[in-house]
């Protein structure tokens, strides 16, 4: 059974940093691209960032480019999202998601339960 466990969320002040983690099990982690998707309170879903299976390619939404960095450690079946210079509009539940399909055309087949990030003073 595929399982994705998100963690690392919390309360942070504007301008602060936070690192999210996602631990995967039940599938060959190193064979799949992964993404982070978020949902702000009362809003819809927004794709945030994706990374290729090897970690050699990373992609970002314009809203987080230059502030967020995605990475992975295939030896530990782990996905990360380093979030810097956080703003109030980054407040959201962040989900990690397993991708399938063509590179750059992500279908999200499995999701974590989400971790809440709150940016507030």
The 3-class secondary structure across 58-72, one letter per residue, is EEECCCCCCCEEEEE
Candidates 31, 44, 56, 66; binder of other proteins (CB under 8 A) is 44
Distance CA(98)–CA(111), nearest Å, equals 6
Check binding of 9 to other proteins (CB under 8 A): no
Check binding of 4 to other proteins (CB under 8 A): yes
Inter-residue contact 77 to 29 (CB < 8 Å): yes
Distance CA(87)–CA(55), nearest Å, equals 26
Check binding of 27 to other proteins (CB under 8 A): no
Candidates 106, 115, 117, 119; binder of other proteins (CB under 8 A) is 106
Candidates 25, 28, 54, 113; binder of other proteins (CB under 8 A) is 113
Which residues of the chain form contacts with other proteins (CB under 8 A)?
Answer: 4, 35, 37, 39, 44-47, 59, 95, 97, 101, 104-114
């Amino acid at each position: 059974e595929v399982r994705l466990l998100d963690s690392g969320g919390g309360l942070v002040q504007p301008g602060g940093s936070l690192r999210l983690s996602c631990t995967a099990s039940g599938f060959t982690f190193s064979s799949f691209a992964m993404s982070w998707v978020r949902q702000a309170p009362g809003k819809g879903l927004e794709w945030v960032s994706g990374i290729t299976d090897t970690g050699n390619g990373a992609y970002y939404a314009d809203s987080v480019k230059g502030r967020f960095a995605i990475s992975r450690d295939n030896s530990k079946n782990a996905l990360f999202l380093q979030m810097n210079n956080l703003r109030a509009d980054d407040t959201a539940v962040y989900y990690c998601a397993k991708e399938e399909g063509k590179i750059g055309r992500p279908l999200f087949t499995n999701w974590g339960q989400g971790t809440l990030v709150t940016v507030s003073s």
